[in-house]
Chain A
Amino acid sequence: MIDWISGGLVVAGATLALLAGVGVVRMPDVFTRMQASTKASTLGVGCLLAALAIRHPDVSIVMKALSVGAFMMLTTAVSAHVIARAAALTGAPLWKGTLLDERPVANRDRDCSSS
């Protein structure tokens, strides 16, 4: 039974991580890519750590899994916010279907392609 639960959680977590990769390739602009990668990968890491803690119910392993999980939950959100802020301030172009852009006009749609 434990094997079934942890195996299912491992496959679910890996599927979410794969979806993060698919979202990064398929999404149309920087911000949608950022949110696809962040959400899917956070949940993926959470599922994989839960599977690990279920399969090895050892105190040290569970504590390490909890600390890695808490750290990932904190830092992924912070790094996504920091990247999105940098992208917005450098004037990353938005998707054509975007309804509202609150940046000042001088800040919009600058070509920030890397040289």
Chain B
Amino acid sequence: MLNFTSAIALTMLALGAALTFVRLVRGPSLPDRVISIDLIGILIVCVLVVVAGDSGQQAFLDVAMVIALISFVGTVAYARYLERDRT
């Protein structure tokens, strides 16, 4: 059973992810989409931190760390790809 504030926080995070997904679908340029994907990764980390605080399980924090790392590497790789692609 979720804590009340955790339920509110998870609802708001889901709303923010939905808004970010709107920009991911609509985004006029490729950098917009990369920003959206980066923000979705950060929001996933936020959700994992809230769940870890609610349940007291430390394993969620490890998962948050790994997802943050992979999201960062993916963003840098996307940006490299964009820069290499220009002519």
Contacts and interface: CB of A to CB of B under 8 A. Distances in A.
Interface of A: 6-8, 10-11, 13-15, 17-22, 24-25, 30, 33-34, 37, 41, 44-45, 48-49, 51-52, 55-56, 60-61, 64-65, 67-68, 71-72, 75-76, 78-79, 82-83, 85-87, 89-92, 112-114
Interface residues of B, number: 54
B35 A34 contact: yes
Q: Is the interface of B mostly helix, strand, loop or mixed?
A: helix
Contacts, number: 179
A85 B78 CA distance: 12
Given A65-B61, A72-B68, A37 B39 contact: yes
Contacts of A89: 82-83, 86
Nearest to B21: A21
A114 to B, nearest CB: 4
